[in-house]
Amino acid sequence: MSALAVEAIDISKRFGARWAISRLSFSLAQGRSLLLTGHNGSGKTTLLRIISTAAFPTAGTLKVLGFDSKKERDSLRPSVALVSHASFHYEDLTAAQNLLLSAKFLGVKDPASSVKELLERMGLSSRADSAVRQFSAGMRKRLAIARLLMKAPKVALLDEPFGELDPAGSLQMEQLIRDLQAQGTSVVLATHLIEQGLSLTQERLHLEGGRKVSPT
Amino acid sequence: MSALAVEAIDISKRFGARWAISRLSFSLAQGRSLLLTGHNGSGKTTLLRIISTAAFPTAGTLKVLGFDSKKERDSLRPSVALVSHASFHYEDLTAAQNLLLSAKFLGVKDPASSVKELLERMGLSSRADSAVRQFSAGMRKRLAIARLLMKAPKVALLDEPFGELDPAGSLQMEQLIRDLQAQGTSVVLATHLIEQGLSLTQERLHLEGGRKVSPT
Amino acid sequence: MPASIPLLLLLALAVMVVVHVVVPKTRPILWKVSAALGLVMLGLLMYLGMFYAPPEAFMSNVGRILYVHVPYIWMAFIAFLMNVGCAFAYLMKKSWVTDALAESSAEVGVLFGAVGVAMGSIWARPTWGVWWDWDPRLISTTVMLLSYVGYLALRSFTEDPERRATWSAAVGILSGVSLPITYYSVRWWNSLHQVQSSTASVDKTMGSVLLWGLVTLLCFLFPFIVKRYEIARARQTAAMELPPLEAPRPEAA
Amino acid sequence: MTPKISLLTAAWLVLKKDWQIEWRTRARLTALIFFSGATLLLFSFAMGPDVTSLRAHAHGYLWLGLLFASVLSLGESFRIESENQALTGLVLTPVEPRAIFIGKVLGNASMLFALSLVLLPITIGLYDVDLTRVPHLLLLVLFLGTLGISAPGTVYSAISANARARDVMLPLLLFPVLVPLLLAAASATKLTFQPDPQDQLGSWLKLLIAFDLIYLSVGFLVFPKIAEED
Amino acid sequence: MTPKISLLTAAWLVLKKDWQIEWRTRARLTALIFFSGATLLLFSFAMGPDVTSLRAHAHGYLWLGLLFASVLSLGESFRIESENQALTGLVLTPVEPRAIFIGKVLGNASMLFALSLVLLPITIGLYDVDLTRVPHLLLLVLFLGTLGISAPGTVYSAISANARARDVMLPLLLFPVLVPLLLAAASATKLTFQPDPQDQLGSWLKLLIAFDLIYLSVGFLVFPKIAEED
Ligand code: HEM
Ligand SMILES: Nc1ncnc2c1ncn2[C@@H]1O[C@H](COP(=O)(O)OP(=O)(O)OP(=O)(O)O)[C@@H](O)[C@H]1O
Ligand SMILES: Nc1ncnc2c1ncn2[C@@H]1O[C@H](COP(=O)(O)OP(=O)(O)OP(=O)(O)O)[C@@H](O)[C@H]1O
Ligand SMILES: [Mg+2]
Ligand SMILES: [Mg+2]
């Protein structure tokens, strides 16, 4: 039996009086990838944030890579990474400085050169020394992806990764996802581009009002 | 000769030391629609903001509906509307309050009922009384579109309108664009989904580093 | 007054509150008993304070307000101590019970403290000639109350229950630092106001009347705290119910 | 094409929106009251326990407290507008920038005036001043003073909402401009607390009115230029 | 799995990042200096032209100025972290929250300490005090005092950065907690300006150190709980 990358046991998440995730259970084997779909406001971003340990379920247990996401968050965090609507960057640092900071926190060997390589790869090297405040929407997305790649996580959480990327960037993103998968990373991909998503993943979870339903 | 919706005469826009738009000239006849494409950071958002009079060209003249965008902005503004990355909403007001405010400023007749109708149309009526702060990315986009529809502009500027929308919302957006066009509105559509964009517009402008080039 | 007395009072309160929380059977009875006892004791306190105790040496009869002024402020102290305890307990192990207790003790503490300060102020008018004076004891007490008002404001401005609980536990502990400061302020900054009296400096009968007043008010403090606690719990459980297992049928859209 | 609604209607809508937001979050006024209450307390610490000297300077403390509170209040008022670029959204709607100015000034002034009313009893309690001498004139002074703070405050907070390090920019810009106004307001307030043998209150009031008119009209002229890119 | 870098390395990186941002924008310290300079000036206006009384209270004005500046500075320091949810990003990287606390406290304290150094000449100029009596002790008092402001300040600004009406929430929470510390710092400063016949400076310094230790350790314990959702 292969280990589980994600295992949700009856999790729910409440905001104020509203349940964004309701009694959700599912599991994903390590190495396999999951497509997350659902209407606007169905809870995709919330679920990804919970898996990334940026938020925690109000009730229920979530295990990621065998760790309880709430109690063992410290052990879990080095192995998951999230790209979402909020980009986590410091607006007044440059792209290179932002990445370098992550690299140092992660204890990457030779941070400077891996920053350079990643910026190159995401097509940002000509703007490495611009403050993020001056970036366009797509450039921000690219930088966020670079940050995820820097971490080389075991579980990669991608929230609408194709949004804002130009066609070339979109193709590259697909390739990146395949590369991650080839290295054994489980990808959880939330997107509204269902065909594209289906071609990249093996499993699917469709949410409606925070509940699991079969896609229609 | 039909009147021109947009006429750019050698416009440029500088941020700091960098030119986001360089010596751009183009025109768009009233009633026709334009597809705006280009790599990330090529200047699409900047151009749309300039057309909407949220920003002004550093050099050159831009005429929208025959008005000089800088000098006659007051006459122009009631007729253009923009949906972009920044949503213009008050986070602490509810969806309905935000729309109602716009409606009153616009002097719409019977504002309450048109707010209700628009929220219904954009699938937000169940969340009309939630603060925008609690909205998901797609719900914010829907609210921004509702605001544009409220204005019924002669020139509609749409910056990646399909981003963040679920498939149903995306289809509805296409239909909305066609409806706008049927009423004689010129649509300027910036998107990375080129096929979808081409099927909705008659003309195309491809930017590279802020300059007009022919798409490859 | 020996330092052990306030600690004993705190202990008594803690035991009663724990009993109330842990043993459901006592819930309808205990607070009523306490309140009733308090009422009876209050009647006696009036008599003792007005007629039995000797007039205060410097302030004559106005000084008799002492027998409620001091107990009120002491009750606020005890409630805030309880708040700090609950805040620590919450950060150690999350529990809605300690969160609710923290909320109720802070609110009741602010209430009792405000009454106590108001009485002090009423007292100050005839004795010092002003409503208020710049004195370390008065200021530190007021500042302590203000820091708990800030605590309550934060609670009411935070909607998410989990955040509210952890944030306010953190703020509660930091505010708790003002308790010992208030207590010692008289020694640090030499004070106009009375320092803590020792048994030596206070007449025997006065001391015992004061003690009577303290116990009386403790009998009121307890029902206030548990009643407020029950309100907080009710609000929590209303927000806490899990969503139904199946989606409600009609809302299929 | 002229806008469909009048300048004053638009200003009223802007003002109402501010009140609405304040009402929904309800945090601002409450927090301001405690903030300036605490500030007044702090002043008396710094000045030591001399009651007569405190009473003699109560007018100064009152206005300093209001000034610091206004920095926070103005900052908050434009933080609301810079989230999601809401101010740009208003301008594009279109709403006349001058209407935005009027609405915002009145919104800020009403907040500060309400605050000053709440601070009065605190002033009595802490500094033992006598407010009953000419209460109507005292109210007038408070009204004119808070309006005078709001007019340049609105302009500057609009600027600093877009500038870098905006929280710290605002007071930097604002304080120097406000010094004369504060001086006038504090002096006038003093004369409502204490006897006014030489009948100077009237001239301070006139000065205050003049400041208000100047600041309001300058703001009215200048605000459209800064509310949008130019 | 243990983090790959030590707590102190991480704290140092957080601190360096704050300095880097400050250096790029360069706005914060400049603006703070002008702000507290203006504050000191306003105090002397509000208190009237009595030089001896000004000199006698200079220590109080100095710390009040620092206190108001610290509210702005702390608010700005966490505005940076709440844009783009950068603080959440740090926690997820993962960076130990306690490292973030240490880094942020030192960042804020260094900013305030720098500010206090700049304010000293202004204090001389405005209030004519004598700083040369025990300069090393004065520096020590300033250091301990600004560190003591930063410790609870960091905790509270992290909270209020996410709370509603955050600009006004911070001082509301912070001021009451800081009052005793300020009192101790101001009293100690007074004794460095003026003769200290009863040799009380030492005990004030001890009190200050005690406050710092308490606030730092409480903050150290509490910060991890509030840096992330729980
Ligand atoms: C105006 C606000 C006042 C406040 C905030 C205040 C505060 C306090 C506090 C906190 C205590 C408890 C001290 C302790 O036992 O440790 C206390 C006790 C006491 N207060 Fe006040 N007080 C005020 C006014 C006055 C006035 C005007 C008087 C009398 C002139 C007074 C006389 C006393 C006495 C005699 C005690 C008892 C001390 C003892 O036996 O422990 N207080 N007050
Ligand atoms: N406020 C600003 N300050 C400085 N530079 C800016 C600013 N806004 C945009 N730019 C720069 O202008 C250029 C064009 O940006 P713009 O946002 O218009 O790109 P875009 O075509 O919309 O890209 P995307 O597809 O990623 O949304 C970019 O190089 C960007 O870095
Ligand atoms: N901070 C919040 N406070 C209150 N409600 C929230 C918050 N964040 C999300 N929600 C609510 O939770 C639900 C799920 O939101 P979420 O962002 O997860 O949706 P989503 O599936 O990602 O939608 P989209 O496709 O639009 O991005 C929505 O109803 C939303 O209103
Ligand atoms: Mg989403
Ligand atoms: Mg763009």
Dihedrals φ, ψ of E53, to 5°?
Answer: -70, -35
Chains touching A by CB (3 or more pairs below 8 Å): B, C, E
Number of the ligand 3 atom closest to the C-alpha atom of A85: 27
Number of the ligand 2 atom closest to the C-alpha atom of A141: 26
Q: Which residue has the tokens 């004689």?
A: B184
Q: At what angle do helices E201-227 and E97-127 cross, to 10 degrees?
A: 140
Q: Which of D20, D88, D93 sits opposite B106 (nearest CB)?
A: D93
C7: amino acid identity, one letter: L
C155-186: burial string, b at 16+ Cβ within 10 Å, e else: bebbebbbbbbbbbbbbbbbbbbbbebbbebb
* Rounded Cα distance, E159 and E165, in Å: 11
pLDDT in tens, E159-203: 888 776 666 788 888 988 888 898 889 889 988 988 888 888 888
* Rounded Cα distance, C17 and D133, in Å: 52
Put simply, whether D92 touches B (Cβ < 8 Å) is yes
- For residue D97, the chain B residue with the least C-alpha distance is B74
Q: Which residues of E touch C171 (CB under 8 A)?
A: 156, 159, 173
A15: amino acid identity, one letter: F
For residue E94, is the peptide bond before it cis, meaning its omega torsion is within 30 degrees of 0? yes
Q: Which residues of A touch C160 (CB under 8 A)?
A: 15-16
- Cβ of D94 within 8 Å of Cβ of B93? The answer is no
Q: Which of C140, C173, C188 sits opposite E222 (nearest CB)?
A: C173
**Cα-Cα-Cα-Cα dihedral of A111, A117, A120, A122, to 10°?**
-80
pLDDT in tens, D7-32: 999 999 999 999 999 888 777 788 78
CB interface of C with E, residues 155-184, below 8 Å: 157-158, 162-163, 166-167, 169-171, 173-175, 177-178, 181
Q: Which of E17, E86, E230 sits opposite A88 (nearest CB)?
A: E86
pLDDT in tens, A71-109: 999 999 999 999 998 999 999 999 999 999 999 999 999
Give C250's contacts (C-beta < 8 A, 6+ positions apart).
Answer: none
Whether the per-residue pLDDT at A3 is higher than 80: the answer is yes
* Rounded Cα distance, A93 and B64, in Å: 37
* Rounded Cα distance, D117 and D129, in Å: 15
For A54, the token pair is 């940026």
Q: Is residue A182 packed enough to be buried (19+ CB in 10 Å), middle (13-18) or exposed (0-12)?
A: exposed
* pLDDT value at residue D46: 66
* pLDDT value at residue E1: 43
Count how many Cα atoms sit within 13 Å of the Cα of residue B126 in the half-sphere of its side chain. Answer: 9
For ligand 3, say whether the CB of A45 is within 6 Å of any of its atoms. Answer: yes
Put simply, whether D45 touches C (Cβ < 8 Å) is yes
Domain ranges for chain D: 7-229
Q: Which residue has the tokens 């396999």?
A: A32
Distance (Å) from CA A159 to ligand 3 centroid? 13
Q: How far is CA D229 from each of CA A92, A152, B58, C41, C50, rounded to the nearest angstrom?
A: 21, 42, 11, 72, 74
**Binning pLDDT at 50, 70 and 90, where does residue D164 land?**
low
* Rounded Cα distance, B39 and A141, in Å: 13
Whether the per-residue pLDDT at D1 is higher than 50: the answer is no
* pLDDT value at residue C253: 41
Q: Measuring CA to CA, which residue among B93, B91, B52, B55 is closest to residue B188?
A: B52
* pLDDT value at residue C192: 46
Q: Return the ∠ at Cα B128 (arms to B135 and B107), rounded to 5°.
A: 115
The three-state secondary structure class of A13 is: strand
CATH code for position A153: 3.40.50.300
List the B67-68 sheet strands across, edge first: B18-29, B4-15, B59-64, B67-68
Which region holds residue A210: left if phi is over 0, alpha if psi is between -120 and 50, else beta?
left
User: Which of A92, A136, A160, A164 would best serve as a mutation to test chain B binding (most B beta carbons within 10 A)?
Assistant: A136
pLDDT in tens, E88-120: 999 999 999 999 999 999 999 999 999 999 999
Put simply, whether C131 touches D (Cβ < 8 Å) is yes
Put simply, whether E93 touches A (Cβ < 8 Å) is yes
Q: Which of C140, C150, C189 sits opposite E172 (nearest CB)?
A: C150
- Cβ of A88 within 8 Å of Cβ of E17? The answer is no
Whether the per-residue pLDDT at C250 is higher than 60: the answer is no
Give nearest CA residue, ligand 1 atom 14.
C196
Put simply, whether D126 touches C (Cβ < 8 Å) is yes
* Rounded Cα distance, A118 and C19, in Å: 62
Q: Return the ∠ at Cα D158 (arms to D152 and D162), rounded to 5°.
A: 145
- For residue E95, the chain A residue with the least C-alpha distance is A105
For C210, the token pair is 């004061």
Q: Is residue C5 packed enough to be buried (19+ CB in 10 Å), middle (13-18) or exposed (0-12)?
A: middle
3-state SS of chain C?
Answer: CCCHHHHHHHHHHHHHHHHHHHCHHHHHHHHHHHHHHHHHHHHHHHHHHHHHCCCECCCEHHHHHHHHHHHHHHHHHHHHHHHHHHHHHHHHCCCHHHHHHHHHHHHHHHHHHHHHHHHHHHHHHHHHCCCCCCCHHHHHHHHHHHHHHHHHHHHHHCCCHHHHHHHHHHHHHHHHCHHHHHHHHHHHCCCCCCCCCCCCCCCHHHHHHHHHHHHHHHHHHHHHHHHHHHHHHHHHHHHHCCCCCCCCCCCCC
* Rounded Cα distance, B89 and D46, in Å: 44
Q: How far is CA D157 from each of CA B15, D73, D104, D177, E79, rounded to the nearest angstrom?
A: 23, 10, 11, 13, 16
Per the model's pLDDT, the better-predicted residue between C207 and E9 turns out to be: E9
Q: Which residues are A186's β-sheet partners?
A: A155
Give the mean pLDDT of chain D. 86
Whether the per-residue pLDDT at A118 is higher than 60: the answer is yes
Whether the per-residue pLDDT at C60 is higher than 70: the answer is no
- For residue C164, the chain A residue with the least C-alpha distance is A16
Give nearest CA residue, ligand 3 atom 3.
B134
pLDDT 10s per residue in chain B (216 long)? 468 999 999 999 999 889 999 999 999 999 999 999 999 999 999 999 999 999 999 999 999 999 999 999 999 999 999 999 889 999 999 999 999 999 999 999 999 999 999 999 999 999 999 999 999 999 999 999 999 999 999 999 999 999 899 999 999 999 999 999 999 999 999 999 999 999 999 999 999 999 999 877
Q: Which domain holds residue B208?
A: 4-213
Cβ neighbour number for residue C211 with a 10 Å cutoff:
15
pLDDT in tens, E20-63: 998 887 778 888 888 888 888 877 776 666 777 778 888 888 99
CB interface of C with E, residues 58-97, below 8 Å: 91, 94
Our count of domains for chain B comes to: 1
D92: amino acid identity, one letter: L
Q: Are strands A34-38 and A186-190 parallel, antiparallel or unpaired?
A: parallel
Count how many residues are written for chain E. 230
Quote the minimal CA–CA distance from B83 to chain D in Å: 10
Q: Measuring CA to CA, which residue among B19, B74, B82, B25 is closest to residue B50?
A: B82
User: Which of C95, C177, C186, C187 would best serve as a mutation to test chain E binding (most E beta carbons within 10 A)?
Assistant: C177
- For residue B71, the chain D residue with the least C-alpha distance is D230
Q: Which residues are B204's β-sheet partners?
A: B35
Q: How far is CA D173 from each of CA B148, D152, D155, D170, E80, rounded to the nearest angstrom?
A: 37, 9, 10, 5, 21
Q: Does domain C4-240 have CATH number 2.60.40?
A: no
Q: Which residues are A35's β-sheet partners?
A: A189, A204
* pLDDT value at residue D2: 46
* pLDDT value at residue D82: 87
C232: amino acid identity, one letter: A
Quote the minimal CA–CA distance from D169 to chain E in Å: 6
* Rounded Cα distance, E212 and E195, in Å: 25
CB distance C131 to D123 below 8 Å: no
Ligand 2 shell residues, CB under 6 Å: A 134-139, 164; B 15-16, 18, 20, 38, 40-46
Q: Which residues of C touch D48 (CB under 8 A)?
A: 134
Q: Measuring CA to CA, which residue among D229, D126, D218, D205 is closest to residue D177?
A: D218
For D201, the token pair is 């209150």
Q: Are strands B67-68 and B59-64 parallel, antiparallel or unpaired?
A: antiparallel
Distance (Å) from CA B21 to ligand 2 centroid? 9
The three-state secondary structure class of B53 is: coil
Predicted model pTM: 0.91
Whether the per-residue pLDDT at A182 is higher than 90: the answer is yes
Radius of gyration of chain D (CA): 18
Containing H/E element for A44?
A: helix A44-51
- Residue ranges of alpha helices (H) inside E83-134 are 86-92, 97-127
Q: Is residue C195 packed enough to be buried (19+ CB in 10 Å), middle (13-18) or exposed (0-12)?
A: exposed
Whether the per-residue pLDDT at A210 is higher than 70: the answer is yes
For E154, the token pair is 């960091």
User: Which of E22, E83, E100 would best serve as a mutation to test chain A binding (most A beta carbons within 10 A)?
Assistant: E83
DSSP assignment of D148-199 equals: HHHHHHHHHHHHHHHSTTHHHHHHHHHHHHHHHHHHHHHHHHHHHHS--TT-
* ipTM score assigned to the predicted complex: 0.89
* pLDDT value at residue C191: 44
* pLDDT value at residue A2: 62
Q: Which residue has the tokens 């025997």?
A: C204
- For residue A123, the chain B residue with the least C-alpha distance is B40
* Rounded Cα distance, E190 and E188, in Å: 5
- Cβ of B167 within 8 Å of Cβ of A45? The answer is no
